[in-house]
C-alpha cells in the first residue's frame, strides 16, 4: 500500500491511496473460506460448497468491504502521522473510475485543510458592562418587600393601589382566566378609570389595547398565546370577586430577621445594601453572558482567514442524513460558516492557552456545585467523602458530564477573556443595560 499527498493550494489537497492485491488477498480468502464452511446452498452439504461458487456469490462484496476497511484505516493513520488539521472528512473523487475486477486499485480523496491564522484578543476593545442597582431600583425593591410581607385588608370597592381578584372572559378570543392583579399594573387611563370605584360582584368591560405597559402581560392575565398577546385589541369582561388593600409591612427587626436571618440586617440602610449586593451578583451573570457574546462576535469579525468553501459545501451535501442539492448545501454553508469560523478560533485559543478542561477540574467543579445546592437545604458542611460519592454518581452520567463540561469550558473561556481581552468597563443601570445591550 502506498499513500501520497499533493497540495492543490493552502486549503485543499488530494490524498492518493494505492492498494495492491497483496494488501487484501489473505483477508478476503479467509473470509470466503469461513463463508464456505457455513454457507447453506441447495444441493450441497454444509462445508462442501465449491469455492468457485462462493466467490461468485460473495467475492465482490467481500472484496469491496475489505478494501474500504483498508482505505479508512490507512487514511486515519496517515492524517494522524502527518498531523494534518482537516475540516470535515476526506471526500472520494474517483469512485466512478474504480474497476473492481482489477487486482490493484487507486483511490483519490479531496481534503479540506484548516487555515493558518493568528488570534489577537486585544485587537478591538469590547464593552464590559458593570450593572449597578440604582436608588430607584432599591426603593422599588423595598416597596415590593413591604407589600409582599404586609397584610391584606378586604374591601368592597376598588381604589388606586388595590389588588383585584377576578375572572377575565371574552368569547371572541376564548378567554376565561381567573387572576389577581394590582391597579398599578394598569397603564390605560380609561381602563383604570373604569376599575376605580367598581365593587365586589360587579362586571367591568375593558379594552385590552393599551391596558398594560407591556403586551406580554396579556399572556399572563388573559392566558392567550404569545402571538395573540402582541397588539391584542378586544373587549374583555372582568367579574370582580375580591378587592384587597395591602397594608405594607413595617421595616423593623422582625422583618429583617425573616428576610436574611437573625441579626444579619438591622436597618433600612443595611437592607438596601444587602439588596444591592444580591441584585448586582445576579446582574453579573447577564453582564458576563453579554461580554462573552460580544467578544465572540468581535473575534469572528476581526480574525481574517479563508476557508476551503467549495470543499465544505460538497462535504455538507453528502454528510447529513439526507443528501442535499448543490443549492441546499450552499445555503446551509452560508448559515453555518460563522459558527465554523468561531470553532476554529476557539480551538486555537484553547490549544495555545491551555484552556482544555481536565477530569480533576470537572470533578472539583461538580463538587462546588453540589456544595452550593446542599447549602440551599441547610447542609452547609458536607464531608469530602460525601461530596466525592455524589460527584462520582453524577460523573457516571454522560449527559451530566457533557452539561458540566460545557459550563466549565464557558467559564474558563470567559475568565480568559476578562484577563486578556481589550475591555472598556461601562457602569450602567439595569434598565439602561437592557435598552442599550439588547436594543
Angle, vertex CA 195, rays to CA 194 and CA 196, nearest 5 = 100
Confidence band, pLDDT 50/70/90 cuts, at residue 376? confident
The whole-number pLDDT of residue 168 equals 97
CA nearest neighbour of 214 among 227, 199, 230, 191: 230
Q: Do 286 and 432 contact (CB within 8 A), yes or no?
A: no
The average pLDDT across 176-205 equals 95
Q: What are the pLDDT digits (tens) for 257-310? A: 999 989 999 999 999 999 999 999 999 999 999 999 999 999 999 999 999 999
The whole-number pLDDT of residue 54 equals 82
How many residues belong to the chain? 439
List CB contacts of 45: < 8 A, sequence separation 6 or more.
Answer: none
Q: How far is 429 from 166, CA to CA, in rounded Å?
A: 36
Mean pLDDT of the chain: 93
Q: What are the pLDDT digits (tens) for 387-418? A: 999 999 999 999 999 999 999 999 999 999 99
The whole-number pLDDT of residue 42 equals 74
Confidence band, pLDDT 50/70/90 cuts, at residue 438? confident
The average pLDDT across 75-81 equals 94
Percent of the chain with pLDDT over 70: 100
The average pLDDT across 15-36 equals 92
Element (DSSP H or E) covering residue 274? helix 268-302
Confidence band, pLDDT 50/70/90 cuts, at residue 113? very high
CA nearest neighbour of 423 among 129, 55, 175: 129
pLDDT at 40 over 80: no
The whole-number pLDDT of residue 44 equals 77
CA nearest neighbour of 249 among 145, 127, 356, 354: 145
Q: What are the pLDDT digits (tens) for 309-336? A: 999 999 999 988 899 999 999 999 999 9
Angle, vertex CA 142, rays to CA 140 and CA 146, nearest 5 = 115
The average pLDDT across 34-49 equals 77
Domains in the chain, please, with CATH?
Answer: 2-113 (3.30.70.1050), 151-247 (3.10.50.30), 266-305+353-437 (no CATH)
CA nearest neighbour of 320 among 308, 336, 339, 300: 336
The average pLDDT across 29-45 equals 81
Confidence band, pLDDT 50/70/90 cuts, at residue 41? confident
Q: Do 193 and 205 contact (CB within 8 A), yes or no?
A: no
The whole-number pLDDT of residue 145 equals 94
Confidence band, pLDDT 50/70/90 cuts, at residue 58? confident
For residue 425, the 8-state DSSP code is E
The whole-number pLDDT of residue 51 equals 85
CA nearest neighbour of 1 among 21, 29, 15: 21
The separation between the first and the last C-alpha atoms of the chain, rounded to the nearest angstrom, is: 61
Coil vs helix vs strand at 214: coil
Angle, vertex CA 131, rays to CA 130 and CA 136, nearest 5 = 145
Compute the chain's Rg from CA coordinates.
34
Percent of the chain with pLDDT over 90: 84
Farthest-apart Cα atoms in the chain, separation:
103
Angle, vertex CA 257, rays to CA 252 and CA 262, nearest 5 = 130
Q: How far is 382 from 48, CA to CA, in rounded Å?
A: 71
The whole-number pLDDT of residue 285 equals 92
pLDDT at 47 over 90: no
**For residue 55, what is its C-alpha cell?**
466467490
The single residue listed with the C-alpha cell 474504480 is: 98
Coil vs helix vs strand at 103: coil
Amino acid at each position: 500500500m502506498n499513500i501520497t499527498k499533493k497540495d492543490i493550494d493552502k486549503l485543499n489537497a488530494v490524498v492518493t491511496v494505492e492498494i495492491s492485491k497483496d494488501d487484501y488477498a489473505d483477508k478476503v480468502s479467509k473470509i470466503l473460506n469461513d463463508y464456505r464452511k457455513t454457507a447453506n446452498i441447495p444441493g450441497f452439504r454444509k462445508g462442501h460448497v465449491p469455492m468457485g461458487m462462493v466467490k461468485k456469490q460473495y467475492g465482490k462484496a467481500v472484496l469491496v468491504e475489505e478494501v474500504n476497511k483498508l482505505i479508512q484505516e490507512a487514511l486515519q493513520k496517515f492524517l494522524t502521522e502527518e498531523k494534518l488539521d482537516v475540516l470535515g472528512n476526506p471526500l472520494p473523487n474517483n469512485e466512478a473510475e474504480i474497476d473492481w475486477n482489477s487486482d490493484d486499485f487507486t483511490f483519490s480523496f479531496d481534503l479540506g485543510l484548516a487555515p493558518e491564522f493568528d488570534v489577537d484578543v486585544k485587537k478591538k476593545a469590547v464593552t464590559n458592562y458593570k450593572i449597578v442597582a440604582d436608588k430607584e431600583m432599591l426603593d422599588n425593591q423595598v416597596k415590593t418587600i413591604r407589600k409582599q410581607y404586609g397584610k391584606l385588608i378586604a374591601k368592597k370597592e376598588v381604589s388606586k393601589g388595590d389588588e383585584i381578584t377576578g375572572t377575565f372572559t371574552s368569547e371572541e378570543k376564548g378567554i376565561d382566566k381567573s387572576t389577581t392583579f394590582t391597579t398599578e399594573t394598569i397603564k390605560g387611563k380609561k381602563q383604570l378609570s373604569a376599575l376605580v370605584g367598581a365593587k365586589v360582584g360587579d362586571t367591568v368591560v375593558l379594552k385590552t389595547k393599551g391596558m398594560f405597559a407591556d403586551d406580554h402581560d396579556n399572556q399572563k392575565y388573559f392566558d392567550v398565546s404569545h402571538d395573540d398577546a402582541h397588539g391584542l385589541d378586544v373587549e374583555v369582561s372582568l367579574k370582580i370577586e375580591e378587592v384587597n388593600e395591602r397594608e405594607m409591612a413595617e421595616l423593623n427587626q422582625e422583618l429583617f430577621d425573616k428576610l436574611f436571618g437573625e441579626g444579619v440586617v438591622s436597618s433600612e440602610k443595611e437592607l438596601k445594601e444587602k439588596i444591592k449586593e444580591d441584585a448586582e451578583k445576579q446582574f453579573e451573570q447577564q453582564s458576563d453572558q453579554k461580554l462573552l457574546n460580544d467578544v465572540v462576535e468581535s473575534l469572528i469579525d476581526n480574525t481574517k482567514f479563508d476557508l476551503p468553501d467549495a470543499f465544505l459545501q460538497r462535504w455538507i451535501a453528502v454528510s447529513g442524513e439526507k443528501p442535499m442539492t448543490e443549492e441546499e448545501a450552499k445555503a446551509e454553508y452560508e448559515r453555518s460558516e460563522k459558527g465554523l469560523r468561531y470553532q476554529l478560533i476557539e480551538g486555537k485559543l484553547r490549544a495555545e492557552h491551555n484552556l482544555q478542561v481536565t477530569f480533576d477540574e470537572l470533578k472539583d467543579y461538580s463538587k462546588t456545585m453540589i456544595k452550593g445546592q446542599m447549602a440551599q437545604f441547610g447542609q452547609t458542611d458536607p464531608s469530602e467523602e460525601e461530596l466525592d460519592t455524589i460527584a462520582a454518581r453524577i460523573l457516571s452520567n454522560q449527559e451530566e458530564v457533557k452539561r458540566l463540561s460545557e459550563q466549565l469550558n464557558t467559564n474558563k473561556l470567559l475568565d480568559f477573556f476578562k484577563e486578556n481581552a481589550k475591555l472598556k468597563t461601562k457602569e450602567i443601570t439595569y434598565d439602561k443595560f437592557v435598552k442599550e445591550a439588547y436594543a
